Homo-oligomer: A and B are copies of this chain.
Amino acid sequence: MKAKITRKTIEGVRQNYAVFNPSFLKRLDLTPGELVRAPPHLQGFYVMAADTIEDDTVGIHPKYFDKNDWTEGSIVQFEKFSVENIVGLIRNKVSGRTWNAQEIHSIIHAIDNEWLTPSHMATFATSCEINHLTDSETVFVASSFFEFSAKLHLRRGPVVDKHSIGGIPGNRITPIMVPIIAAAGLTIPKVSTRAITSPAGTIDSVELIMNVDFSPSEAAEIVEKTGGCIVNGETVGLGQTADKLIKVLKEVRLDPKELMIASILAKKSAAGSKYVLIDLPTGRGAKLPSKQEARSLAHLFSRVGHELGLHVESVISPGDKPIGEMIGPALEMKEAMMILEGKPSSLSLRRKAVSLSGIIFEMVGLADRGEGAIMAENILASGKALLKLREIIEAQGGDPHISSEDIPTAEYKEKIFAKKDDVVYTIDSKALRLIAHTAGAPQDKEAGVVLLVDRGEEIQKGEALFEIHANSASKLEQAISLAREKPPLVLEKMVLEHIKDVVP
């Protein structure tokens, strides 16, 4: 069917809709919820009806106007079609069967063109989570994600990257590692994200000092010039197909590990990387509770990476407490800058950034095994990393003269004090995260928590334990009362659990 198209915004969950006037729909023998597709990309659109749209005209979300290079009022040939065959393929995994390369390609292609509904993708993801993917299937998924992804075309090399799994608070190593690695002459096109569950993601922090939204060609230009970048994955659009699936995964709170690995490695490949270091924070409260699970994930990363032509290594790092001492977008950016500036700051965060940078130097042969960290430490201590960050800031349109002191802090702050002499048994990341969220992070950039004591420390009555930052008195109040109710510092106890089952 041919129809005139017009821009029409209806903001719901799904933007790939085609809105028809009810009488037009009837003449076309179409029903709301049916799928149509249109050249040039065979983009799929779900049929809706609204009487606010003119007859003979189809309303399309502006995003899809741009994506298809359409113009207002032009005539588009829509075609009704069915995804029954793809739904049948998905059903095979539900029944426990294994997909071949061609089948996986068809499913990922259908996701890319938005032919599948969120329910179809939820079924796909749930069947992957329960019945798992073989190594070959994971490779096929990654290859298809790569095929449909935008790419960064880089002339310089070797291209390296790192990726941390899971939201450990204060794990803001990227803005420290990228300049260390680029200062060593390597190429690191870092594509980062915003916070999902944590109080700050790399992008939430970094956008305080420079622009982060670039197209693939703009990002490539920055990297060619400076050796590195830190850009927003949502706007640069590498691995868009994986992101369509991840949106549904978040909604249903599933995270099938093979799909996660395929998505991460496809994005690294699309950015041009050849050497990838995976950081696996492990421990109580982390995404990976045991080293055994972390090791098995690391091996899977290596095997799948190998098939994709990537050299992948992994590190198991502590995930049972925060890394840095400052939690929240601005606070984490400030702490990272302080480390680059050589100011007194979190030793754990500094050591982690240096260790991981060193391993990357060893991976590419820039340093002998065991010598990388020294090289990274020298680059950091010499100030070369700070200079490199200033170059990157300038290339990304920020002020290269910015220092940690220029990063804004919250107007409302309050310290929480110890009520008696005690020992800090551990720090509860989850409780900390909730307090930071309640204080306003990550939406309020300056909100968050500053830790003033560390695990194992003896504390004295009246000593300041941590400080809450917020942009309003009411949010500060709420965060304080939450901190009193669910303290983020777990103090030492000699009875951990008391089992009271009564045997009849």
A residues touching B (Cβ–Cβ < 8 Å)?
9-14, 17, 19, 22, 32-33, 46, 48-52, 84, 87-88, 90-91, 94, 96, 117-123, 125-127, 129-131, 248, 251-254
Contact = CB atoms under 8 A, between A and B. Distances in A.
A123 B252 contact: yes
What is the count of identical protomers in the complex?
2
A99 B412 CA distance: 45
Given A9-B51, A11-B50, A251-B120, A126 B32 contact: no
Contacts of A14: 12
What 8 pairs between A and B have smallest CB-CB spacing?
A11-B49, A126-B126, A122-B122, A119-B122, A11-B32, A12-B48, A118-B119, A13-B33
A129 B131 CA distance: 12
Given A12-B33, A12-B48, A129-B94, A123 B120 contact: no
A98 to B, nearest CB: 15
A11 B48 CA distance: 5
A51 B9 CA distance: 8
Contacts of A127: 126, 130
Nearest to A33: B13
A98 B50 CA distance: 43
Contacts of A46: 12-13
14 contacts: A9-B51, A12-B32, A12-B46, A13-B46, A13-B117, A88-B253, A118-B118, A119-B252, A120-B252, A122-B126, A122-B252, A123-B123, A123-B252, A126-B126
Contacts of A131: 130
A174 to B, nearest CB: 27
A455 to B, nearest CB: 29
A52 to B, nearest CB: 5
Contacts of A52: 52
A253 B9 contact: no
Nearest to A31: B11
Contact of A119 (B19, B50, B248): B248
A130 to B, nearest CB: 5
A90 to B, nearest CB: 7
B32 A117 contact: no
Contacts of A84: 253
A10 B253 contact: no
A9 B119 contact: no
